[in-house]
Amino acid sequence: MVRRLRITQRKSAIGYLHKQKLTIEALGIRRLNHSVTHLDTPQIRGMIRKVSHLVEVEELGDDSD
């Protein structure tokens, strides 16, 4: 059972720490309201936790792409 997460940037990173901007970039998010899909791993969860005030996370089913 492989779970996937859809991560969407909902708030701009302007005015926040440089590390948070780098985390958004490392997640593959390029612009506001852009969504990316990642596997649900501890590493991705940690990145989401660092920028939780900027992103929205949605858990997808097993067979979603």
The answer to whether residue 31 is domain-embedded is: yes
The answer to whether residue 37 is domain-embedded is: yes
Are 38 and 19 in contact, with CB atoms under 8 Å apart? no
| Integer CA distances (angstroms), 15 to 22, 38, 46, 52, 65, in order | 13, 26, 21, 15, 33
Q: Look up the CATH number of the domain holding residue 16.
A: 3.30.1390.20
The answer to whether residue 29 is domain-embedded is: yes
Domain tally, the chain: 1
- Round to whole Å and give the CA distance between 26 and 12: 15
pLDDT of residue 63: 61
Structure tokens at 5: 């997460």
The answer to whether residue 65 is domain-embedded is: no
- Round to whole Å and give the CA distance between 17 and 37: 24
Domain holding 37, by residue range, is 4-60
Tell me: the pLDDT tens digits for 10-65? 999 999 999 999 999 999 999 999 999 999 999 999 999 999 999 999 999 876 45
